[in-house]
Structure 1
């Protein structure tokens, strides 16, 4: 593997100082001070609609409950050296991803500021982040951090108003571009995502609902619990975008724990397993879970059980590999319509978007991720 270049040109996020020909020597000290402040800081709007003051040059960020965000930062900036703090769950995914090879600075991030799932302000202060990125629904953490003087950027975990899977990631890229001033890779990603979805839509157009494969996404799974995703969640968005019928859509909103009787009732043709679970396809096909007889399920009988890949981050939530996820899942749902060579797609994509040459082994690891990525 080989990194062709290390960073995009240094970004400039300093607000322009308009001096013009109207300036005179009578300019006051107050005016000058105001301009200096403007040059060093700016105000952006986060996804709670709040005005957040951010530094002109961001060099230290921490990522809390909005787990995938660090990969968004990488997509926008081609760097992770600014990520000084990371939620342990996100760190585990990063450690077991190709991003650890592409941008090893991510492995320097501290995780000690998250204790029992909650942010510990004292520990966070030790790494001194300029900005903290948090799930917009975690108001408790946001309030706690702001009371401590930490600048918090709130991000929405999912854009339920737009029923397509790239919407959330696109919105995060927009916020990141507002903060960093980087737009080149953001624009490339947005264009690629639109192109892939348009290709899928064209080929899927006219397929009747009854002809779509009935699919289920296991969000979290173990011998003790079966958690599925439904409407207003990435599960439903991915399945809809790639030509599958979401068997949970009429009964599940968000995520829900279900039993095997419900699985038998849905009886999906295809089962996808996310990287938030250590379960592998062979665990279902070999029926290894006591008290869960998966042999009765159509997807298991046909061998249509797939582990969702993991590239620079898990492909199930928002990530820079989202166009690849669309291609991969569309091909699983409709192999008669889509003949992507996913190894080539991944190789070309990583070269084009990340300027990184992946090895055959790395491609295999992306397509067949280890269970370690889900361990906490």
Structure 2
């Protein structure tokens, strides 16, 4: 073979490798073939959308879920201005096939509990679908909104890291994913070290208040966040997953403090105006606290909740043992590094 032909063959092999397909395994255990470089992503899950923002991959996002603002909060646009006029070809449990096809995505990211029929149809249309759950579970629970785990903390901790690594691979942001995971792990280790310095005699009983008396019970990251911050989720022993409860049930739980997510600013007024809750000590003593945007006490874990939100809650419950100025520096470092802006 001549030198020219050898060079031409080597060049052809190099070119083919540059455009070769690759396979990733999503969190439903499905093998999904993707182009070597993903340039166009449709994201129909707000947790993954937020994570892709932290991985500096929003420049690849061409479509998002319809309810992104409701799920992430009205103020989230500050962290992701490009979402303002973004097409919305579906939502958590539904996909508009025609709208997705118009966007010509390389991949569509969905939640683990989207009905299987949508995944099947997208496969038929030759559009790769990657399901993300941010949890590790048995095969029978992988597609459930309210799964059952042998160990909630292990399921969400390892599952979160799996989800970030997966998104990093999908978006060609492996380095950024590794940096995000490292920041979270370091912060988790530091929080554990803080708690080793003092004894928690009795964990405060706290309640996570969502709109219309909905809350999170066992099997959700919310309880893990509370536990790591030195608190007890009053709903954990009575209900599983995300559910609506009665005022009578909240009275029976008798939480000492109530916390409300930043995305639900209307909830404190709902609680205070409910005559059935008038005698609840947390309401009477005005111990209802709005959480900052990074303290996402959601059903699924997020990087900012694990790295910052658990710290904030622990600091709220045990202020004598935490340095607020030191914590504020950590918050600013996270925002500058992963959102590329200041916290405030």
Q: After TM superposition, is the score higher than 0.5? A: yes
Deviations along 1:262-312, whole A, 9 cap, x unmatched?
10110011211235645343543xx223xx43232222233221223225x
Task: Give the Å deviation of 1:95.
Answer: 7.1
Aligned match of 2:324: 340
Of 67-76 and 32-41, deviating more is 32-41
User: 2:52 matched to 1:73?
Assistant: yes
Matched residue SS, 2:59: coil
Of 314-323 and 32-41, deviating more is 32-41
Aligned match of 1:119: 95
Distance 1:75 1:241 in 2: 23
Contact 2:22/2:36 (<8 A) preserved: yes
Aligned match of 2:143: none
TM-score, normalised via structure 1 length: 0.75
Aligned match of 1:295: 278
Task: Give the Å deviation of 1:32.
Answer: 5.7
Of 237, 242, 255, which residue of structure 2 is paired with 1:250?
Answer: 237
Contact 1:215/1:270 (<8 A) preserved: yes
Deviations along 1:291-338, whole A, 9 cap, x unmatched?
x43232222233221223225x95634334221112111112222322
Distance 1:124 1:102 in 2: 25
Distance 1:268 1:95 in 2: 26
Shift in alpha-carbon separation, 1:193–1:95, aligned structure 2, 3 A: closer
Contact 2:228/2:310 (<8 A) preserved: yes
User: 2:39 matched to 1:49?
Assistant: no
Shift in alpha-carbon separation, 1:196–1:262, aligned structure 2, 3 A: same
Aligned match of 1:163: 153
Aligned match of 1:327: 311
Task: Give the Å deviation of 1:244.
Answer: 0.4
Contact 1:309/1:315 (<8 A) preserved: no
Deviations along 1:125-163, whole A, 9 cap, x unmatched?
122211111112222322232222221001125445550
Shift in alpha-carbon separation, 1:101–1:274, aligned structure 2, 3 A: closer
Matched residue SS, 2:38: coil
Contact 1:315/1:321 (<8 A) preserved: no
Aligned match of 2:39: 59
Contact 1:52/1:152 (<8 A) preserved: yes
Distance 1:166 1:52 in 2: 24
Number of residue pairs matched?
322
Matched residue SS, 2:324: coil
Distance 2:14 2:221 in 1: 44
Of 192-201 and 42-51, deviating more is 192-201
Task: Give the Å deviation of 1:343.
Answer: 4.4
Task: Give the Å deviation of 1:259.
Answer: 0.5
Structure 1 runs not aligned, ≥5 long: 1-22, 364-376
Aligned match of 2:81: 104
Task: Give the Å deviation of 1:93.
Answer: 4.8
Shift in alpha-carbon separation, 1:169–1:75, aligned structure 2, 3 A: farther
Task: Give the Å deviation of 1:94.
Answer: 5.3
Of 185, 195, 215, which residue of structure 2 is paired with 1:228?
Answer: 215
Matched residue SS, 2:33: strand
Matched residue SS, 2:19: helix
Distance 2:225 2:69 in 1: 24
Matched residue SS, 2:110: strand
Aligned match of 1:11: none
Task: Give the Å deviation of 1:73.
Answer: 1.2
User: 2:107 matched to 1:131?
Assistant: yes
Shift in alpha-carbon separation, 1:315–1:256, aligned structure 2, 3 A: closer
Distance 1:302 1:202 in 2: 32
Matched residue SS, 2:238: coil
Matched residue SS, 1:336: helix
User: 2:272 matched to 1:269?
Assistant: no
Distance 1:211 1:244 in 2: 8
Contact 1:84/1:108 (<8 A) preserved: no
TM-score, normalised via structure 2 length: 0.81
Task: Give the Å deviation of 1:191.
Answer: 2.1
Task: Give the Å deviation of 1:235.
Answer: 1.5
More helix by share: 2
Which structure's relative contact order is higher, taking Cα pairs within 8 Å and 6+ residues apart? 1
